[in-house]
Amino acid sequence: MLNTEIKELIVYLKNIVAEEKPDDGVIEKYRDDPDFIELNGLVRGIRGACKKHFEMIFDLFPDPTIITTMKDGKLLAYNRAFLKLIKTRGKTIFDESMNIHDLYFELDKREQLVAQLKQNGVCENMEITVNDVNDEMFVGLVSAQAINIEGKPHILSVIRDITAIKELEAQIIQLSIKDKLTQVFNRPKLDEFLQSELERSERTKAPFSIILVDIDSLRNINESYGNPIGDELLVAIAEILKQNVRGTDFIGRWSGEEFLVILPDTDEAGAVTLAEKIRTIVEESEFKIVGKLTASFGVSAYRKDLLPATLISRAQAARSRAKEKGRNRVECQ
């Protein structure tokens, strides 16, 4: 069995290694003991060497890393990579008097991070949106570990700027759902919207309608002026559509020269009214190079259709009838 003196010394040494405040009574009791003095110096020397090694590794760690207090987020230390990140993001002057809130972290996310650290001691890969001094947004991926410094809880956080990755992800998503030329929805996404609205109307009995917009004589324009001019016209028509529909409506490029407008909670009369409005705007607009342009419209409303194809088929038939009657018309079926 260990005697009382040895137990006291073990607890004292553990506190030194853990960087907790040692018992002053032990220091007073053994301060003149040569063995205690030697052991105390040895342990403190080992701890000091370990601290220097940690600080060297901490500073050279390639990812931005900081140490903050757990309680109030006061910034205690940061490494070179973090300083470079902050300078890159426009903040060039700061010191240890700052707290983490001054670094523009979302406060609710920090509260979540702290709660998770208190529960598990670790938090991995939390995305935090940050506002830099230039009011530009960037996204940090934060992994954190609860650590103890001088008997008080602190947070060691590694922060990676993943803004470029998130922007690339957003671009990939946009490419998967948008038409590259006109930046309205593409055909696969329109199919999704059609199916969703059809199911919603079946469930709620709410009306919904579609408008098929066909640019008149676009093939002749391409042959006469070239495809780039035709592309410019497609972009212009897409812009007219975007400016004249509600935020709840969906616009997409259905085929080469056709657009589809999906109108939730809209009956046939409402769809015809909108189609006439757009037809008039197109007719009265002046387009670069070609001057005047018209479009033909086919309108179709939900009639307990079981498939989107039946709704589209009626709109196509109406559009064809508008073409046959001289173009620049709105027909419904």
Residues for the chain: how many in total? 333
Relative orientation angle of helices 227-243 and 268-284, to the nearest 10 degrees: 130
- Could you give phi then psi for residue 243, rounded to 5 degrees? -80, -10
Active site residue 257: yes
Q: How many CB atoms lie within 10 A of CB 68?
A: 23
Alpha carbon distance 50, 44 (integer Å): 10
Alpha carbon distance 138, 140 (integer Å): 7
Can you read off the two tokens belonging to residue 195?
């199916």
Per DSSP, 33 falls in state -
Alpha carbon distance 202, 116 (integer Å): 44
CA-closest candidate to residue 122, choices 82, 158, 73? 158
Which residue pairs from 134-140 have beta carbons closer than 8 angstroms and sit at least 24 positions apart in sequence? 134/89, 134/90, 136/89, 136/90, 137/163, 138/89, 138/163, 139/163, 139/166, 140/105
Catalytic annotation, pick one of 197, 257, 258, 331: 257
Element (DSSP H or E) covering residue 101: none
103, 138, 155, 93: CA torsion to nearest 10:
-30
Alpha carbon distance 333, 31 (integer Å): 100
Can you read off the two tokens belonging to residue 102?
């001054």
Catalytic residues: 257
